């Protein structure tokens, strides 16, 4: 299949000053279809920016292949490494990288003036720049210099410059991280609308989970240079393939468990009693059981139609859209989110109910962590 971008078995290593070798990209494979909006998501140091820069030609991988629109731009075995300016890509940088001595118009026009092939005429160039500035909502600011523009306006100039030469593939390196939350939210909406209108393929780097969920056709979650999971936002959140992905995306509560019966819909013995799991959860002998705070339900009486265990509310945090309760059951602390503001109070004894299908099951590789709940309890006390 002719993918818009095809990354296969890509690896990149760096040698630190102390001589240690670090894998920034570890055998990564991602196939991107035309018109997709793919988000590379992960913590600092996970390799997402190195992967993006490798596609752009700003980093040279050690092994693997990269194809753009069916053409090899990197192939370690064949000795192919096409320079950045010949990859027919556009890129929007985190810092925007605007020339301070050029007006917004001149900044947007710059890639057109420096095209090695298909350079448009002056009249056509002006029309394309006007169209790009208008598209991003700053058609009246073309004569302003970057220092005269707000952060959001500078971001729009950088976006117009990335779009002006009609590239089929546009790369984004955390382009929204330098503006405040309200502006960032509006720019996300505008960027997604622009991408859908023009139909270009987007490869976008961020560490912001909400941003990834809102923008992505699919999300690639990275850790230590490896692609842990590639899937839709719903798949990543609701059906994580690894414990790392489940814990990294959103919030989770954790219980170690030992299987006592069942193979498909298993039952696990835990510190808070037996927990029933769904038929698609898997059934390792020793498991880590995870469930999200919004999957928990609070009751004054023991629930009969779902998993239930008793605890005492030790902290309550009003979050606007919901109230977060920290509940202690023996040595286990759980976080539950509910929209039932004021129904429960600190020191109330309650039952936590969890549906079996909301319990995520993974082979047990670590001990139970209650750090987040403990810290929230301290903050609320």
pLDDT digits (tens, 9 = 90+) for 332-364: 999 999 998 889 999 999 999 999 999 999 998
Identify whether the C-beta of residue 2 lies closer than 8 Å to the C-beta of residue 71. no
Whether 24 and 117 map to the same domain: the answer is yes
CA-based nearest residue to 67, from 89, 85, 35, 47? 89
Q: What is the mean pLDDT of residues 94-112?
A: 93
Pairing label, strands 169-173, 201-206: parallel
Q: What is the CATH classification number for the domain harbouring 280? A: 2.40.50.140
Burial class (CB in 10 A: 0-12, 13-18, 19+), 172: buried
Task: Read off the pLDDT of residues 201-228 as tens digits, 9 standing for 90 and up.
Answer: 999 999 999 999 999 999 999 999 999 9
190 shares its domain with 46: yes
Burial of residue 196 (number of CB atoms within 10 Å: 0-12, 13-18, 19+): exposed
Evaluate whether residue 349 is within a structural domain: yes
Do 20 and 150 fall into the same domain?
yes
Comparing 18 with 366, which gets the higher pLDDT? 18
Residue-number span of the structural domain to which 20 is assigned: 5-238
Same domain, 152 and 21: yes
CATH number for position 173 = 3.40.50.300
pTM of the predicted model as reported, rounded to 2 decimal places: 0.89
pLDDT at 110 over 50: yes
- Give yes or no: residues 231 and 271 share one domain: no
Residue ending a domain, choose from 206, 238, 270: 238
> pLDDT tens digits for 137-186?
899 999 999 999 998 899 899 999 999 998 999 999 998 887 788 888 88
Mean pLDDT of 53-62: 97
Say yes or no: 154 and 280 in one domain: no
In a domain, 246, yes or no: no
- Residue 66, in any domain of the structure: yes
Average pLDDT, the chain: 92
Structure confidence by residue, pLDDT tens digits, 243-302: 999 999 999 999 999 999 876 789 999 999 999 999 877 789 999 999 999 999 999 999
Do 93 and 189 belong together in one domain?
yes
pLDDT band at 378 (very low <50, low <70, confident <90, very high): low
- Predicted confidence at residue 373, as pLDDT, reads 56
- For residue 380, name the pLDDT band (cuts at 50, 70, 90): low
288 and 221 housed in the same domain: no
Mean local confidence (pLDDT), 100-106: 96
- Domain tally for the chain? 2
Q: Residue length, the chain?
A: 381
pLDDT confidence bin for 368, thresholds 50/70/90: very low
Any domain includes 113: yes
Domain boundary among 184, 210, 238: 238
pLDDT value of residue 19:
87
Same domain, 221 and 369: no
Q: Are residues 209 and 325 in the same domain?
A: no
């Amino acid at each position: 299949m002719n993918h818009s971008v095809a990354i296969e078995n890509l690896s990149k290593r760096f040698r630190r000053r102390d001589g240690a070798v670090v894998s920034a990209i570890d055998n990564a494979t991602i196939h991107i279809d035309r018109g997709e909006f793919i988000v590379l998501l992960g913590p600092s140091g996970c390799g997402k920016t190195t992967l993006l820069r490798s596609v752009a030609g700003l980093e040279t991988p050690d092994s693997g292949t990269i194809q753009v629109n069916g053409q090899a731009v990197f192939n370690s075995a064949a000795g192919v490494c096409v320079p950045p300016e010949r990859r027919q890509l556009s890129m929007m940088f985190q810092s925007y990288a605007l020339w301070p001595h050029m007006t917004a118009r001149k900044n947007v026009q710059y890639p057109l003036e420096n095209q090695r092939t298909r350079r448009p005429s002056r009249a056509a160039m002006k029309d394309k720049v006007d169209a790009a500035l208008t598209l991003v909502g700053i058609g009246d600011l073309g004569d302003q210099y970057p220092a005269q523009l707000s952060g959001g306006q500078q971001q729009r100039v950088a976006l117009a410059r990335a779009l002006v030469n009609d590239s089929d593939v546009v790369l984004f390196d955390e382009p929204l991280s330098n503006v405040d939350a309200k502006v960032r939210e509006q720019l996300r909406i505008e960027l997604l609308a622009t991408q859908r209108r023009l139909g270009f393929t987007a490869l976008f780097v961020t560490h912001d989970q909400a941003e990834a969920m809102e923008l992505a056709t699919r999300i690639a979650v990275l850790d230590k240079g490896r692609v842990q999971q590639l899937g839709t936002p719903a798949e990543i959140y609701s059906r994580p393939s690894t414990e790392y992905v489940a814990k990294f995306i959103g919030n989770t509560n954790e219980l170690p468990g030992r299987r006592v019966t069942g193979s498909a819909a298993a039952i696990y013995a835990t510190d808070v009693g037996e927990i029933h799991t769904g038929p698609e959860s898997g059934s390792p002998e020793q498991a880590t059981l995870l469930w999200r705070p919004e999957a928990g339900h609070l009751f004054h009486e023991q629930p009969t139609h779902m998993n239930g265990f008793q605890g005492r509310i030790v902290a309550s945090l009003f979050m606007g859209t919901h109230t977060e309760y920290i509940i202690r059951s023996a040595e286990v602390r759980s976080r539950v989110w509910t929209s039932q503001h004021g129904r429960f109070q600190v020191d109330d004894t309650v039952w936590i109910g969890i549906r079996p299908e909301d319990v995520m099951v993974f082979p047990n590789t670590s001990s139970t962590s209650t750090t987040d709940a403990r810290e929230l309890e301290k903050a609320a006390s």
